[in-house]
Amino acid sequence: MARNIGAACRRCRRENLKLYLKGERCYSDKCAFERRAFGPGQHGQARFKKQSDYAIQLREKQKVKSMYGMLESQFRLTFEKADRQKGVTGENLLILLERRLDNAIFRIGYASSRNQARQMVRHNHILVNGKKVNIPSFLVSPGDVVSLKEKSRSNAVINENLEAVVRRGVPSWLELDKDNYKATVKAQPNREELTMPIQEQLIVELYSK
C-alpha cells in the first residue's frame, strides 16, 4: 500500500492549518502546530508578500491531499471520476473523498485519524454489510452498514476512540450504534457539514489548466 510517510506535523505547519493527522495528539498541548504555528524549515517564519494564482491552487490541492492521506495518482483519479459525474465537479470531488471507507471509519469514530482508519481497514477489522473489506478507497453508499469484526470489538484502542467520538461528533449522513459496534450510511455526505476550510474550486482550476 503506497502511503505518505513524511512527518505529519510538518504538513500541518506547511499548510498553516491543523489537519488532525495524528489523532488524539492534535487535541492535546503536545500538538506541534499549536506550539509552532509557522512553516517548517529554515525559512518557515518568513512572510511572503504575494503568491501566484498557481501557487495558491497548488497549496489548496496539497492541503486536501494531506487531509485525506492520498498520493497524487490516487487523488488525480478521484478528481477525474468527479469530473465525469453530473453536477459541480468540486463538490463531487469532496463527496467522493468523504465516501472513502477509511474516511467513513474516521468519521464514525472507530479511529482517531484517517491514517489509523486506513490501518484498521488493511488489517481486516472492518465489515461492510457483513462482508470483509480491506480496501481503504472502497466507496460506501446509502444503506451500507459498516461494522467491526467480533474479535475486534474488545480492542482497547478502538473502544477509547469510540468514547472520544463525542468531542468530534458524527456527521448526519452516518448513524452510529455504539453499543453494537456498527454504523449505517443514511445518505450521501453533505458539503455543508465539511467544516474544514476547503476551497474546492481552486483544485478544479488547477487540474483544468
Which has more confidence, 18 or 200? 200
List C-alpha distances in Å: 48 to 13, 53, 56, 76, 163: 15, 14, 12, 29, 43
pLDDT of 75 higher than 90:
yes
Q: What's the mean pLDDT when you consider all of the chain?
A: 84
Q: Where does the pLDDT of residue 95 fall: very low under 50, low under 70, confident under 90, or very high at 90 and above?
A: very high
Q: What is the DSSP letter of 100?
A: B
pLDDT of 7 higher than 90:
no
* Domain architecture of the chain: domains with CATH: 1-40+50-196 (3.10.290.10)
Cα–Cα distance for residue pair 71/73, rounded to 1 Å = 6
Q: What is the DSSP letter of 107?
A: H
Asked if residues 169 and 155 have their Cβ atoms less than 8 Å apart, the reply is no
Most confident of 38-52, 70-84, 160-174, 190-204: 70-84
Which has more confidence, 195 or 142? 142
Q: Lowest-confidence range among 44-53, 72-81, 175-184?
A: 44-53
Alpha helix locations (H) across 36-71?
Answer: 53-68
- For range 107-121, the mean pLDDT: 92
Q: Where does the pLDDT of residue 49 fall: very low under 50, low under 70, confident under 90, or very high at 90 and above?
A: low
Pairing of strands 145-148, 182-185: antiparallel
Q: Where does the pLDDT of residue 192 fall: very low under 50, low under 70, confident under 90, or very high at 90 and above?
A: confident
